[in-house]
Amino acid sequence: MDNKIRIKSLRSRPRFKVYTKASKEELITLIQKHLQISSHTIGGYANKEFAMVRLRKEKDKYWAPQLQIRWEEDEDNPENIVVRGIIGPKPNIWTMFMFFYGLSGALIITLGSYAVSEYYVTGSSYWIWCIPFAILLALATYVSAKIGQNIAKEHLSILNNFVNDIFHDVEFYE
């Protein structure tokens, strides 16, 4: 049996979901043990509900992702635990990108519709320049997100290896 967690996509906020018969306490202990083993590169914590794993401050860069693991009892099969994980950017970075995408969309919709209406009524509009500006803002946000994903590839593989190390000794199924 190939004892690796298969993450569906390594592009945008990769996720995984597995089932195990291990208890929550065993998972917490296992995660804490692996955090101590890899303490030179990875830090984090695990409590009753979830675990948060990040790169150490000295290795952490602005684009470095973080791993969040949640576990809960399976509703269909109470003796199993559902373990879900997501590797993604820090919340402040995620919020910043969503703000810029939302801003560009709002500019296109509000000022763009005003500019087009004014253009049809008067024959000219200075507001028409907000449409290319908003498109450039959205494009710049997209390109910077792709650059950040490319920079964070190495960190993503470190966190992916950490997940596989955790579940190496635990029997799980997808």
In this predicted structure, what is the pLDDT of residue 1?
45
Q: Are residues 42 and 107 in the same domain?
A: no
Provide the number of structural domains found in the chain: 2
CATH number assigned to the domain comprising residue 74: 3.30.310.80
Q: How many CA atoms, within 13 angstroms, populate the side-chain half-sphere of residue 83?
A: 29
Q: Are residues 120 and 108 in the same domain?
A: yes
Whether 3 is in a domain gets the answer no
Q: Are residues 22 and 84 in the same domain?
A: yes
In this predicted structure, what is the pLDDT of residue 5?
62
Q: Are residues 64 and 27 in the same domain?
A: yes
Mind listing the pLDDT tens digit of every residue in the chain (174 residues)?
Answer: 456 666 655 566 788 888 888 888 888 888 888 888 887 888 888 888 889 998 887 666 777 888 999 988 888 888 888 889 888 888 888 899 999 999 999 999 999 999 999 999 998 888 888 899 999 999 999 999 888 888 888 888 888 888 888 877 777 666
Residue 59 makes CB contacts below 8 A (sequence gap 6+) with 41
Whether 1 is in a domain gets the answer no
Instruction: Return the residue matching tokens 């500006």.
Output: 133
